[in-house]
Amino acid sequence: MDKRDDVSPGTASLDDRTRVLVNMRGRYHLEKWQHAPDRKVSLFACRIQRLSPATILMNAPVSGEIGDWVVAQFNELGRLRGQIQRRLGFGFVMSLDLDEQARRKMLEKIVWFEKFQNFAVSDTRRHTRIVPTNPQSTLVLPDASLVSCFVIDISSSGAAVSADIEVKIGMPLALGTVVGRVVRQLDPGFAIQFIETIPSADLERRLIRSIDQLAPDLRKHIQAAGQPRNRSKASVPAA
């Protein structure tokens, strides 16, 4: 008997042709950051959008350069290592550093996810915590500077986010158009408590804003409030 690859005809391939759309949260860092003692934040939250035995497409707040080595950790997949293959607007595509046996195991997981993921119930909806459809948003810092961030989850009273900034407990800031304060450090990221309760129906509309969406309104608001006699920073306009 010809001893070829034991994947039978019609079985999913071990290469990048077999893909599944997932919504899987994890954390990651770039290996080069281990040798950068001046970097204050090195671990970030992420979300897999597409998974194959060869690559993963991740939403991520901080990207490296093409060829940089990435180490990511997911509850469902364990530790994954690979190189940045392509940079995206908010994340990157990472080629997986797996031998053939590990690739076969990944293929089995992908087949399982494809069959059963639609029946899974997410724990993130407990206590009104919601995973936003789009995790990309913007933080407005006390000096009115804008920082792109990854939104881990949201609720009517607060949010958990990950961004390439160092924050302190009590620091005021805004997520999208909603003002709050940092109340807790997370691993990775930090928790924000809003100064007002946001209706559930308005959460994503008010909290999920890209820099391009937020900057024009913010600039107008700052210009209107920035009279010479009043040097305080403008608050974020409600939308």
Residue 231: inside a domain: no
Largest separation between any pair of C-alpha atoms in the chain: 88
Residues 106 and 156 in one domain: no
Model confidence pLDDT, tens digit, residues 90-110: 899 999 999 999 888 888 888
Q: What is the DSSP string of 176-209?
A: TTEEEEEEEE-SSSEEEEESSPPPGGGHHHHH--
User: According to the model, what pLDDT value does residue 11 have?
Assistant: 43
Q: Is the pLDDT reported for residue 181 higher than 90?
A: yes
Task: Kindly state the percentage of the chain with pLDDT values over 70.
Answer: 74
Claim to verify: residue 33 and residue 88 sit in the same structural domain: yes
> In terms of domains, do 91 and 154 share one?
no
Whether residues 144 and 194 fall in one domain: yes
Q: DSSP states of 45-94 as a string?
A: EEEEEEE-SSEEEEE-S----TT-EEEEEETTTEEEEEEEEEEETTEEEE
Average pLDDT over residues 208-218: 79
Number of domains in the chain: 2
* pLDDT tier for residue 111 given thresholds of 50, 70 and 90: confident
Is residue 46 over pLDDT 90? yes
Q: Are residues 26 and 88 in the same domain?
A: yes
Q: By C-alpha distance, which of 212, 218, 130, 132 is closest to 174? A: 218
Domain enclosing residue 72, as ranges:
20-120
- Select from 60, 90, 120 the last residue of a domain: 120
pLDDT at 214: 79
Distance of CA 95 to the CA centre of its chain: 18
Using pLDDT thresholds of 50, 70 and 90, give the confidence band for residue 200. confident
What residues contact 144, with CB distance under 8 A and at least 6 apart? 218, 222, 233, 234
Using pLDDT thresholds of 50, 70 and 90, give the confidence band for residue 127. Answer: very low
**By the 8 A CB rule, do 169 and 156 touch?**
no
Same domain, 110 and 132: no
